[in-house]
Amino acid sequence: MKTLLILLVFSFYGHYVFAQSGLLSTKGISFPIYTTASRPSANSVEIGTVLYNTSDNTHQFSNGSTWLNLLGATALPAGPNIATLRNNGSGWVADYNITNDGLHTRIGTNTFGDDYTLIVGTGSGGLYTAVLAKGDYYGVIGESYNISGSGVYGNSDASEGIGVKGTSLYGYGLYGYSNTATGIYGISNYGTGILGESALGYAGKFKGSVYVGSGTIPASPIAPLYVAGSNVLTSASAYYTPYGYNGGNTWYFNSSSETWATGLLVDYDIVGKRAIVSAQNITTSDARIKNIIGLSNNQQDLAKVRQIQITDYSYKDVATWGNQTFKKVIAQQVEAIYPQAVRKMTSTIPDIYALAEKVTYDESNKTLTCTLSKEYDIKVGEKIEFVHEKQGKIQAEVVAVSGNSFTVKNWQYPTDKIFVYGREVNDFRTVDYEAISMLGISAIQELAKEVDELKKQNNKLKTDLSTRLEAIENLLANVKTEN
């Protein structure tokens, strides 16, 4: 008993020496008080030893190697009124990179502004990506209820910078919607305002009208794509062809400075399923870009023109073309006579053109099954074009066929009614009417030669006839004289 009492006294004495003012009383436990500078090293005391740090205003305990803040401490480090707290592994510290003034949250060091709720970035030379958001469905959703506000706004001053970038494996990389203003708006001083890329789908897809250019925005959309204003190109841009005509001898909008205004510049073909309307059509035809083979045979060209059949017809797609009739050529007939004037491409033909009698949408498998009034020899792997009452034209691939029914995959739009337009073909024929026109000019030249020859023969016949008539008249005159 005496030995146990001695041990307790020495134990209490040892702890009391370390604790300085740390005592147990009826009012509670008073822990040792230190500053960060004066506290003993964590590895010199027993694991679990607790003290109060007046530098950080918090209780701390030793884990044998470092001092850690106790969870639930009410006293937190002081800092500016906009700073947040961050645990640096040793305790909580004021964080100046993420700040909040009560109205806005800022990540970075950009200045607060009343126009922004979330500010991300550190100014020039800061983060490579200002915001990176990933989600199972949407990466970022931005909404603005102000009549002139922006749902998502991105700005980049760098020459190769991108204000807003959206990426999606199957959905939309960037989606914008507006009832009265602009769905997606992009501006760049040196780079690209809006850039869209896609490996298999559309690089950019817009529902509604798209306005491009610096001209006056019309009060209401004129067309799905409206290009307003123009850029001035100079003769130094030798790659491009000047399209403006000033009424003089040169094809320049301004002949004195050799510049022209261009509203739309396309490096390759423009493909349209209906008419292309313009005030002028100008085609490049410089000898220096051609390998001249020789002059065309006018006689052969005339023979070809004689065989081309001019046909009266109307289109099967009455919803688009109505009942109007046309007087032109048929590509397959021209191909047999003048194959150089016919090209093949991939397009859709209205070979079904019927409303499906029954439509079944499988949301889990994303398939659509259509039943038609009769069989159309549809095959698995073919691509069919549909007309959806809200989404417009949609193309999908056939994965199953059974009698009058067929099923397509990757269908995203629930519906119980669909119009089946027709299937995609890779031998859709087009006619180069310019080539036929040149064939016609060659044929006219042959006809002109023949007319010239006939004129010569006619003049010779006239001369011969005149000589003979004169001889006959002279002979008759002599007969009268003799009588």
Tell how far CA 414 is from the center of its chain: 25
pLDDT at residue 7, as a whole number: 38
Structure tokens at 74: 């009410």
Whether the pLDDT of residue 145 is over 90: the answer is no
pLDDT at residue 82, as a whole number: 74
How far apart (Å, rounded) are the C-alpha atoms in residues 257 and 255?
6
pLDDT at residue 440, as a whole number: 96
Query: pTM score > 0.85 for this model?
Result: no
pLDDT at residue 93, as a whole number: 75
Instruction: Please state, rounded to an integer, the average pLDDT across all residues of the chain.
Output: 78
How far apart (Å, rounded) are the C-alpha atoms in residues 68 and 70?
6
Whether the pLDDT of residue 396 is over 60: the answer is yes
Whether the pLDDT of residue 41 is over 90: the answer is yes
Annotate 176-203 with three-state secondary structure.
CCCCCCCCCCCCCCCCCCCCCCCCCCCC
Among 276, 333, 336, 344, which Cα is nearest to 310's? 333
pLDDT at residue 300, as a whole number: 96
pLDDT at residue 94, as a whole number: 75
Domain ranges of the chain: 2-75, 348-431
Q: 9-40 pLDDT, tens per residue?
A: 344 444 444 444 556 666 677 888 999 999 99
Q: 349-381 pLDDT, tens per residue?
A: 999 999 999 999 999 999 999 999 999 999 999
Pairwise pLDDT comparison (45 vs 222), residue with the higher score: 45
Burial 303-320 (b: 16+ CB within 10 A, else e): ebbeebeeeeeeeeeeee
- Tell me the CATH architecture of domain 348-431: Beta Barrel (2.40)
pLDDT at residue 6, as a whole number: 40
Pairwise pLDDT comparison (178 vs 405), residue with the higher score: 405
How far apart (Å, rounded) are the C-alpha atoms in residues 252 and 259?
6
pLDDT at residue 73, as a whole number: 45
Q: What is the mean pLDDT of residues 54-69?
A: 88
Q: What is the mean pLDDT of residues 87-91?
A: 72
Whether the pLDDT of residue 121 is over 90: the answer is no
How far apart (Å, rounded) are the C-alpha atoms in residues 405 and 420?
12
Highest mean pLDDT among 94-98, 103-107, 419-423: 419-423
Structure tokens at 179: 């009832």
β-pairing, 358-362 vs 67-69, is: unpaired
Q: What is the DSSP letter of 288?
A: G
Q: What is the mean pLDDT of residues 106-118?
A: 61
Q: What is the mean pLDDT of residues 218-238?
A: 67
pLDDT at residue 252, as a whole number: 40
Whether the pLDDT of residue 4 is over 80: the answer is no
Q: Which of 33-42, 87-96, 256-265, 336-345 has the lowest mean pLDDT?
A: 256-265
How far apart (Å, rounded) are the C-alpha atoms in residues 73 and 69?
8
Q: 291-321 pLDDT, tens per residue?
A: 999 999 999 999 999 999 999 999 999 998 9
